[in-house]
Amino acid sequence: MEQNILARIAAVIQSSSVQGWLVVDRDFKVVHANEAYCQLWKTKSEEVIGKHILKLFFKGQKKDNRGNYLGPLIETIDTGREIALMEVCVTSQYNDANIWCLANTYLLRDSEGRIEYAVGTYLPIDKFKVIERRLDNINLDIIKAFCKAIGVRDAYTKQHSECVAYLMVELAEYLNLSPDEVTKAYLAGIVHDVGKIGVPERILGKPGRLSDEEFKIIKCHPVKGSEIIAEIDGLGAITSIVRHHHERYDGRGYPEGLAGENIPFLSRMLCICDAFDAMTSQRCYRDPYTTEQALEEIKRCAGLQFDPIISEQFITCMKKQLQRN
Ligand SMILES: [Fe+2]
Cα 197 to ligand 1 centre (Å):
11
User: What pLDDT is attached to residue 286?
Assistant: 67
Which of 56-60, 104-108, 259-263, 310-314 is least confident?
56-60
CA distance 295 to 205: 25
Cα 160 to ligand 1 centre (Å):
10
For the residues 228-252, what does the mean pLDDT come to? 91
Domains of the chain: 2-125 (3.30.450.20), 128-324 (1.10.3210.10)
For the residues 122-134, what does the mean pLDDT come to? 77
* Percentage of the chain lying above the pLDDT 70 cut: 84
First to last CA, the chain: 45
Cα 218 to ligand 1 centre (Å):
9
Cα 205 to ligand 1 centre (Å):
14
User: What pLDDT is attached to residue 137?
Assistant: 61
Cα 290 to ligand 1 centre (Å):
21
Using pLDDT thresholds of 50, 70 and 90, give the confidence band for residue 250: very high
- What is the enclosing helix (H) or strand (E) of 121? strand 115-124
CA distance 52 to 41: 15
User: What pLDDT is attached to residue 158?
Assistant: 60
Cα 84 to ligand 1 centre (Å):
42
User: What pLDDT is attached to residue 1?
Assistant: 47
Beta-carbon neighbours within 5 Å of ion ligand 1: 193
Position 237 pLDDT exceeds 60: yes
pLDDT tens by residue, 256-286: 999 999 999 999 999 999 999 989 987 666 6
CB-CB neighbours of 79 under 10 Å:
10
Cα 157 to ligand 1 centre (Å):
9
Using pLDDT thresholds of 50, 70 and 90, give the confidence band for residue 138: low
Using pLDDT thresholds of 50, 70 and 90, give the confidence band for residue 56: confident
Cα 41 to ligand 1 centre (Å):
36
Cα 85 to ligand 1 centre (Å):
39
Position 13 pLDDT exceeds 80: no
CA distance 280 to 293: 9
Cα 77 to ligand 1 centre (Å):
47
What pTM was estimated for this model as a whole? Answer: 0.72
Cα 180 to ligand 1 centre (Å):
23
Please provide residue 172's backbone torsions phi and psi, each rounded to the nearest 5 degrees: -60, -40
Cα 245 to ligand 1 centre (Å):
7
Cα 195 to ligand 1 centre (Å):
8
Q: How many residues are present in the chain?
A: 325
- What is the enclosing helix (H) or strand (E) of 144? helix 140-153
Cα 277 to ligand 1 centre (Å):
11
Cα 246 to ligand 1 centre (Å):
6
Cα 177 to ligand 1 centre (Å):
23
> Which of the pair, 290 or 233, is modelled with greater confidence?
290
